[in-house]
Structure 1
Amino acid sequence: MTYQDVFTVFWEQVKESIKEGTFAKLTMAKTIGKPELKNIFIRPIYADEDFKVLLKYSFRPREVEDIEEELSLDESLTIVKSHLKTHFLSVLLFSTVKDVTFKVNKKGLGSITETYPTFKNVTQA
């Protein structure tokens, strides 16, 4: 299975956690090399009419100010996909039910692992 196929399975779990109201945070980590972009964080903004996320770019030099954007889930997916395997090798889903980690290895294969939840409550952005 290609890493894209495995990522699709992972993203379905992200959507399911949002649907169930258990989505706490998504983090892109394990940078490739030493880029200025250190992490990308996605936090939920639950609203009556539509679900949005606050996407935050966190930079390594402290002098560079973090950038935040309010986006739809589909818009955030596009950004996550564009940074996967170019800047980051892993994406972590934190929900109140479980933590799910998606990783791409050096051979370009994807994997998913699940662990106990880090968050007990959902905190909106």
Structure 2
Amino acid sequence: MSIYIAFDEFYTKVKESLADGTFAKLTLAKTIGNTDLMNIYVRPAIEEMELKLELKFKFQKEEIFEIHTIESAFPRLLEFINNPFLSAILFTTEFDLTYKLNKKRAVSITEQFPSFTHASPVILDYLALKK
């Protein structure tokens, strides 16, 4: 399976966790070599009464923030899969889902017990606004 098709399947789980209120956070990590960009942290944000995603690009000497719609965040994050990041971890209240590339660029997606017991407060606030 292509690394990009697999990331699309992984991102579907991200969207589902946002919709059902279980999303805690998303992190892209484990870079190839020593790169200036160390991590990308993804958190929900509410802008103009719409649920969006805040992408925090953590560089060695600075941080840059971008706000994206849930749909437009996907191609932005996809740019960094395999260059420089080899893993993405979705943290939800139901499970942790890890997307990982090995040295031969074979993809594995594994589910583990959840690290978080509470969803992102922004998600909970947004769902309360929608009611």
Question: Does TM, normalized by the shorter one, top 0.5?
Answer: yes
Evaluate the alpha carbon distance shift between residue 123 and residue 19 of structure 1 in structure 2; reply closer, same or farther with a 3 A threshold: closer
Q: Tell me how far apart the structure 1 counterparts of residues 35 and 70 of structure 2 sit (CA, whole Å).
A: 25
Tell me the matched-pair count: 122
Q: Which amino acid aligns with 2:53?
A: V
Kept in 1, the 8 Å contact 2:95–2:113? The answer is yes
Kept in 1, the 8 Å contact 2:38–2:58? The answer is yes
Relative to the length of structure 2, the TM-score reads 0.85
Calculate the aligned-residue CA RMSD, in Å: 1.7
Kept in 2, the 8 Å contact 1:46–1:124? The answer is no
What is the correspondence of 1:6-45 to structure 2 with a 5 Å cutoff?
6-45=6-45
Cα deviations by residue, 1:27-59 (Å, 9 ceiling, x for unpaired): 000101100111000001257842101110111
Match of 2:128 in 1: none
- Moved segments of 4+, more than 3 Å: 46-49
Give the match's secondary structure for 2:50: coil
- Percent identity, aligned pairs only? 40
Q: Which amino acid aligns with 1:66?
A: E
What is the correspondence of 1:1-125 to structure 2 with a 5 Å cutoff?
1-46=1-46, 49-60=49-60, 64-124=61-121
Structure 2 gaps of 5+ residues are: 123-131
More helix by share: 2
